Amino acid sequence: MNVKTLATQRKTARRFKSDPVPREAVDYILETARQAPSGSNRQPWRFIVIDDPAVKTKVREAAEAGERGFYESLSPERATWYREKGLSWAKPHLTDAPTLLAVLGDTEAPNYVRSVWVAVGYMLLAAEERGLGAVTYTPSDPEKVREALGAPVNLSVETVMPLGYSADEKPKESRREMGELVHYDRLE
Amino acid sequence: MNVKTLATQRKTARRFKSDPVPREAVDYILETARQAPSGSNRQPWRFIVIDDPAVKTKVREAAEAGERGFYESLSPERATWYREKGLSWAKPHLTDAPTLLAVLGDTEAPNYVRSVWVAVGYMLLAAEERGLGAVTYTPSDPEKVREALGAPVNLSVETVMPLGYSADEKPKESRREMGELVHYDRLE
């Protein structure tokens, strides 16, 4: 299947079957990520593969503590948007997904956020190719999650990706048309 | 070809053949990018496809003005690193590549940098699949390049990607081993 087809059929998964993710598929995804380019070739990504239910619970509790603060801070308009999407501070997928892939960035590397997220893009397509669903959950308070993971202060939690076989029946969110996004030679 | 193979064989291109990039291939890359997920589904990416030599020259001049300042600011150690890699303030690929893909981010969208760079990851794999080389050049002074492109202040220039058939014979930069990058359940 080509890259465009993988990208087009991929949609976010926040609900998962209980079937475990084969270790070989996790390796495939991380081997793909490892090949991404990065600023000054610093390869500032570090990965934590989380299968242990106790660690998942700890991560979920830390994440939800941060989300409660975030949801309380929302304007009424944005709060409505999130509610209509069925989103809230609760992150059950952080314990329901069979595996979490935490992706951390080395904050001492130049352009580390950009580099890490190129690798995340690679991971999403590799997961789709293996029939796995995921969501790039970015904690509202990444420091709380970093502490829960026992990671040092020079690493930032960029995303915690719940990974598994999707049981999410929500359709893919719509996409803007090309004409809205693409300009030629100059912005008009 | 599978995603891991595309990611593995892909290497950065800073030298290009003069053959033009088929418009159909540019569309393929941007159609792929358009499918990426984004924070609150804001799709904060905007693309400028630059084929006009006059625009390329303007972008290059703006970029190099920013790079001169950056290279002057480097510590002796980092200056040596860049010199050994054959890198300098000069960015001839910004005029030598047949096409530039400028990727801009809507700074008003939440998490726009992360979202844009997932899309950039998609673009790199789509380009590789079409046999095209690229480098994710990130301007040291993106404001200068934004002005050269005539883009409004609420858009940030995330990357200007020279795109074309590679004539770059430099080998791929080495990658860290998996054991250096991957941990299980917790960082030790």
What pLDDT does A168 receive? 97
Q: Which of B139, B110, B135, B108 is nearest to B123 (CA)?
A: B135
Kindly determine whether residue A118 and residue B117, on different chains, have CB atoms separated by under 8 Å.
Answer: yes
For A31, the closest of B40, B47, B178 (CB atoms) is: B178
Rounded CA separation B100/B50 (Å): 5
Instruction: Flag if B43 and A81 touch (Cβ within 8 Å).
Output: no
What is this model's ipTM? 0.97
Q: Across the interface, do B81 and A40 touch by the CB < 8 Å criterion?
A: yes
A41 interfaces chain B, CB cutoff of 8 Å: yes
Residues B136, A118: C-beta atoms closer than 8 Å: yes
pLDDT of A180 > 90? The answer is yes
For residues B43-62, give the mean pLDDT: 98
For residue B88, pLDDT beyond 90: yes
In what helix (H) or strand (E) does residue B115 lie, and over which residues does it extend? helix B112-129
pLDDT of residue B43: 98
| CB nearest B117 (choices: A31, A121, A181) | A121
Cα angle for residues A91, A32, B116 (degrees, 5° grid): 60
Region B78-96 average pLDDT: 93
Beta-strand relationship, B155-164 and B133-134? antiparallel
How large is the average pLDDT for residues A107-112?
96
pLDDT, residue A175, reads 98
What's the gap in Å between the CA of A122 and the closest CA on chain B?
Answer: 6
Which two tokens mark A20? 């475990």
Partners of A28 on chain B (C-beta within 8 Å) are 4
Contact of B24 with chain A, judged by CB distance below 8 Å, is answered with no
The residue assigned the tokens 């669903």 is A133
In angstroms, what separates the C-alpha of A90 from chain B's closest C-alpha?
A: 16
**A 45-84 residues inside an 8 A Cβ radius of B:** 45-52, 55, 81
Q: Which residues of chain A lie closer than 8 angstroms to B53, CB-CB? A: none
CB contact under 8 A, B3 and A122: yes
Residues 163-182 of B with CB under 8 A from A: 173-176, 178, 181-182
The answer, as to whether pTM is greater than 0.90, is yes
**Residue A85: which residues within 8 A CB-CB, separation 6 or more?**
none
Decide: B155 and B146 in contact? Cβ < 8 Å.
Answer: yes
Q: B58: closest CA among B104, B22, B91?
A: B91
Integer CA distances (angstroms), B55 to A82, B46, B61, B102, in order: 41, 17, 10, 11
Among A78-87, B38-47, B148-157, which is the least confidently predicted range?
A78-87
- The pLDDT, as a whole number, for residue A45 is 98
Given CB atoms, is A138 within the 8 Å cutoff of chain B? yes
Taking contacts as CB-CB distances below 8 angstroms, the residues of chain B near A2 are 129
**Residues of A with Cβ-Cβ distance to B59 under 8 angstroms:** none
Q: What is the pLDDT of residue B85?
A: 85
- Quick check: A150 and B187 CB within 8 A? yes
Asked if residue A188 has pLDDT above 80, the reply is no
- The A residues from 89 to 108 touching B (CB cutoff 8 Å) are none
**pLDDT tens digit string along A144-177?**
999 999 999 999 999 999 999 999 999 999 999 9
In this model, does residue B188 exceed pLDDT 80? no
* Chain B: residue whose CA lies nearest to A11: B37
Average pLDDT on B75-83 reads 91
- Which of residues A62 and B82 earns the better pLDDT score? A62
pLDDT at position B92 is 97
Distance from the A186 Cα atom to the nearest Cα atom in chain B, whole angstroms: 6
Q: Which of B91, B124, B107, B94 has its CA nearest to residue B6?
A: B124
